Amino acid sequence: MNKNPFATPVALAAGLILLCAAPGLIGAQAASPSPAQAPNMAAQAPQAKKDSPPPDDFAGLTYTDEQKAEIEKIRQDTLKRKEAVAKDEKLSADQKDAMVLGYTRLEYGGIYKVLTLDQQRLVRQRIRARRAADEAARKKQPPSGKSSNALPR
């Protein structure tokens, strides 16, 4: 069925990386709101609380010169596309955010493809470890907004 056994892990890794990058994008948008964005600010407030930057799953990897050149090319291409989206006055803020997020996903996916199999394996391990830590943190937090049925005596 699946002809490329690495397609699913790559897609999952790129998606997770983008989900982690989304709070940074929203935080930047919240810093300079436009009048058209005012109704959406309440919906974005819980996501903007994260002050830490998203984790970089590619940090600490040792790249070959060829990999460095290819990664730089990918990043420059993505930067040009993001700048074009930012300058496009025909797009709404939500459309711009969606396009920037999509370009970021493409960038991370492209970088992942440039990595060796060992580097890809390491990135996948980091993602799994972060997911496990996030899940453990979620389980430790009490559910918000729900009251217990027990009455104090």
Domain boundaries, the chain: 7-31+62-138
Mean pLDDT of 36-51: 40
Cα distance between residue 68 and residue 48, in whole Å: 32
pLDDT at 24 exceeding the cut of 70 = no
Q: Give the pLDDT confidence score for residue 20 in this predicted structure.
A: 56
Q: Give the pLDDT confidence score for residue 33 in this predicted structure.
A: 45
Q: Give the pLDDT confidence score for residue 142 in this predicted structure.
A: 74
Q: Give the pLDDT confidence score for residue 60 in this predicted structure.
A: 87
Q: Give the pLDDT confidence score for residue 141 in this predicted structure.
A: 83
- Three-class secondary structure assignment of 87-109: HCCCCCHHHHHHHHHHHHHHHHH
Q: Read off the pTM.
A: 0.55
Residues 102/106/108/114 CA torsion (nearest 10 deg)? 180
